[in-house]
Structure 1
Amino acid sequence: MRATLPGLAAAAVAAAAAWAVHAAVPAIPLLTASVVLGILAGQLPALRPALDGPLSTGLSLASKRLMRIGIVLLGLKLSLGDIAELGWLAIALVVLIVLITFGLTWLLGRLLRLPGHEPLLVAAGFSICGASAIGAVASVTRSKPAEQATPVALVTLFGTLAIAVLPVLQHPLGLGSEQFGAWVGASVHDVGQVVATAQTAGSAALAVAIVVKLTRVLMLAPLTAAVSLAVRRRGGGGALPPIVPLFVAGFIAAVLVRSWLPVPELVLLGADLLQTVLLAMALFALGAAIRFEKLARSGWRAAVVGLASWVAIAGMALVAVQTAGG
């Protein structure tokens, strides 16, 4: 426990700094700021001895354990009733977009020979919920933080670009507020990035975007279970991961609690605050593991996969929104 305290304290300070950045510039999502601060810290030679030494144990705990707890609490944001209000066509289209994006991204990553589990992690991040999905799948595949570096960097880069690019395209594409919100929710990676992008079109767009986005987040449970089954089938020695990881079961339980029980608003607010803090700490830790010189070795291939995935999911989501009529 004593060994983890320095790293956890550093992650907590970084989360507070990210919060300050978000408060000063609301257009910058808090979780995006956390990842970026981690990435910047990882590039500073003066900080690397501490990041790789006394802080490493606590940062590793943050990137794994705190990430899982944050994902469980994320389930309290999602109600099955809210999803049902989208209508079955919209739900089916969201699920289809997730599955196609995941499959295409994974296949392209394999074709371009991204190393290790990177094709799987990039596919999860771009199709579901950014760095949170990467952390969830990495816990099943037992990927090291260094292996998560490129996928996290990619979803941070393209999710941040979406904040600037998508609002500019709303009116040229003839999208109403709710249509724009649905497009953002179906195509942008991280929940914070969705909020930052959709709020430019007003509260109606933001409400739709959050529901659509959280519907994508719900796909994290079956996807993680499927990856776990594949890992178990392949074997490879050591203890096999459970078919449904404990944190995924916790996420599903949180969704059911929010759907069927009268959870007090104060509890929801407290859970939302805690979830944000934990994910901010976890994402800083993931960002701090990124080393640009290592990314440069396969950077162009990873960038091609990320760009293709981003364009594909945005294009499919746009067609789906226009098909469903908003």
Structure 2
Amino acid sequence: MPPPLSRTVLVTTPLFAAFVAILLSDLVPLLGPLMLALALGAVVANAPALSEATTHALADVSRTCLRLGIVVLGLRLSVSDLLSVGWGAALVVIATVAVTYAATCRLGDALGLDRGLVTLIAAGFSVCGAAAIAAVRDGVRTRQRNVALAVALVTVYGTAMIVLLPPAARLLGLSTEQAAVWAGASIHEVAQVVATGSLIGGTLAVALATTVKLGRVVTLAGVYVVAARRDAADGAGEAGPSKAPLVPWFVTGFVLAVLLRSTGVLGESILDVGDHLATLLLGAGMFGLGLGLRLRELWPVPARALVLATASTLVAATTSLVLVVTTSLVA
């Protein structure tokens, strides 16, 4: 058995993995640094080099990095940015998140899936992918395998949307603005939205799609509260905290960071540093989530979970598309 890693190595390993993922993302921009960091974690998890205790220790450090990254992520948003997308796009965001979350929970419960897994999938597919799953996981009692499975599903389905949405938008005759709003309101990960926006129409499409997507990220605080109450009402979870705080510190920190950005007191240089720091910390968090992607534990993927993931993606895509097409507030 390999010797345990020192505290310094435990702290720096996830950050180093995130840094490597950022460098690799220049070579594979379609995946983005967060997805690559997740993949690096999965590679480490499926290699026999580390003991289970060391893997769990690395995952704990990564979880702290992820929470800090969510706080710093708030510096990417300002209230004016959110208002700039218009009430039509805001309506698309709010309705899509609410309908997708509720429909996913209803269907998952009807399919008889583990309630914790259903909640994680609902949060990830309706809000912001793996980051939402990791955040909500603190308030939901469920097994680590369910966390890994939800992350794997949201990654695969979100990546598929990168390929499918741009040609679908052209086939439907959507304008560049409509397609960008659709992408931001329906695709799961921020990195996936950026990649899709670049395929739709360049810089302007990327900016609009990303702003809409970050509008969905703002709903994370509300979704966390709903998810925690759903879990508490059930009272039948497995592993995990028996009583989570109503609003965790990192969600509060995220909201405060948005408000701080909105004041305009932070200069562009500070915001640039914050942007890079958020990517690094979130990447370290994704590395930790990747450590939970052990193939021997995930395979075979339950067919009912695939049905739920497919349905949740379709609900998000259909709801947002109908609203984009029917509301006159989206150009």
TM-score norm. by structure 1 comes to 0.91
How many angstroms apart in 2 are the aligned matches of 1:226 and 1:54? 33
SS at match of 2:171: coil
User: CA offsets per residue over residues 146-167 of structure 1, 9 Å max, x none?
Assistant: 3310000011101111122222
**Counterpart for residue 274 of structure 1:** 277
Equivalenced residue count is: 322
**Counterpart for residue 122 of structure 1:** 121
Q: Does 1:67 align with 2:66?
A: yes
How many angstroms apart in 1 are the aligned matches of 2:203 and 2:325? 20
Q: Does 1:86 align with 2:77?
A: no
The residue type paired with residue 296 of structure 2 is E
CA contact (8 A) 2:139 2:243 kept: no
**Counterpart for residue 220 of structure 2:** 220
How many angstroms apart in 2 are the aligned matches of 1:108 and 1:43? 32
Q: Does 1:256 align with 2:259?
A: yes
> CA distance change for structure 1 residues 238 and 21 in 2, over 3 Å: closer, same or farther?
closer
**Counterpart for residue 180 of structure 1:** 179
How many angstroms apart in 1 are the aligned matches of 2:67 and 2:146? 18
User: CA offsets per residue over residues 101-120 of structure 1, 9 Å max, x none?
Assistant: 00111222222222251100
The residue type paired with residue 136 of structure 1 is A
Q: Does 1:310 align with 2:313?
A: yes
SS at match of 2:173: coil
**Counterpart for residue 248 of structure 2:** 245
Q: Give the counterpart of 2:46 among 43, 47, 64.
A: 43
How many angstroms apart in 1 are the aligned matches of 2:109 and 2:73? 30
User: CA offsets per residue over residues 218-247 of structure 1, 9 Å max, x none?
Assistant: 100111123334455667897632212111
Pairwise CA distance, 1:4: 4.1
User: CA offsets per residue over residues 280-315 of structure 1, 9 Å max, x none?
Assistant: 111111112112232235522211111111121111
CA contact (8 A) 2:55 2:291 kept: no
Which segments of 5 or more consecutive residues in structure 1 lack a partner in the other structure? none
Answer with 91-100 or 234-243: which moved more.
234-243
How many angstroms apart in 2 are the aligned matches of 1:40 and 1:309? 28
CA contact (8 A) 1:6 1:54 kept: no
How many angstroms apart in 2 are the aligned matches of 1:111 and 1:233? 17
User: CA offsets per residue over residues 73-112 of structure 1, 9 Å max, x none?
Assistant: 1111111112112222321221011011001112222222
Q: Percent same amino acid among aligned pairs? A: 36
How many angstroms apart in 1 are the aligned matches of 2:311 and 2:157? 11
> CA distance change for structure 1 residues 261 and 159 in 2, over 3 Å: closer, same or farther?
same
How many angstroms apart in 2 are the aligned matches of 1:133 and 1:143? 15
The residue type paired with residue 13 of structure 1 is F
CA contact (8 A) 1:225 1:244 kept: yes
CA contact (8 A) 1:166 1:197 kept: yes
How many angstroms apart in 2 are the aligned matches of 1:51 and 1:75? 35
Pairwise CA distance, 1:51: 5.2
User: How does 1:125-204 map onto structure 2 within 5 Å?
Assistant: 125-143=124-142, 145-200=144-199, 201-204=201-204
How many angstroms apart in 1 are the aligned matches of 2:162 and 2:257? 29
How many angstroms apart in 2 are the aligned matches of 1:173 and 1:204? 20
Pairwise CA distance, 1:317: 1.4
SS at match of 2:299: helix
Answer with 65-74 or 31-40: which moved more.
31-40
